Amino acid sequence: MICLGMGFLLAGCGQDPQANATADLAASFEGSPAREDVLKAKAAFEEGRYKESLLLFHQVVSRGPLTAPQKKAMAGIVGRLLQVIQDDSKLAGDAQLHRLMEMLILKTMGEN
C-alpha cells in the first residue's frame, strides 16, 4: 500500500503542497451520476469523517471508469487521505482504514 500511496503522492509533485485536495473534485464530476456521492464524500473528508469518506469514494469509483480529470482529482484526495492517516497515530493503527485505502487506490488506478 505504501508503494501505491507514494505513486499518488508523486503524481502531485510540482503542485502547491498546500493546495486544497478537494478543490477540483466536484468540478471533475460535474454532470456525472456520481456527483452527489462525490459531494457527500468531500464533505465527510473535510469534516474529518475519513472512513465515511472512503466508503463514499468507493461508491464513486465503482460506478464505472473515471475520466482523466476525475482520476487526477481522485489521486489528489487519495494522497491527502494517505497523509492524514499517516500523520494521525490513531488512524495509522486502524487496519480496516488501511484496507479501505488500499482498495480505493486499486479501484482508482483501474486495477480492480
CA dist., res. 62 & res. 65, Å (int): 8
First to last CA, the chain: 14
Q: What is the pLDDT of residue 16?
A: 44
CA dist., res. 91 & res. 85, Å (int): 5
Domain boundary assignment for the chain = 21-109
Q: Higher-confidence residue: 77 or 12?
A: 77
CA dist., res. 7 & res. 39, Å (int): 25
The per-residue pLDDT for range 47-59, each reduced to its tens digit, is 999 989 999 999 9
CA dist., res. 30 & res. 60, Å (int): 13
pLDDT band at residue 39 using 50, 70 and 90 as cut-offs: very high
Q: Which triple of cell numbers denotes residue 80?
A: 491527502
Q: Which triple of cell numbers denotes residue 56?
A: 463514499
What pTM was computed for the model?
A: 0.76
Q: What is the CA radius of gyration of the chain?
A: 13
Q: What is the pLDDT of residue 18?
A: 33
The per-residue pLDDT for range 92-106, each reduced to its tens digit, is 888 888 888 888 888
Other Cβ atoms closer than 10 A to 33: 10
Among 10-19, 38-47, 51-60, 69-78, name the one with the lowest average pLDDT.
10-19
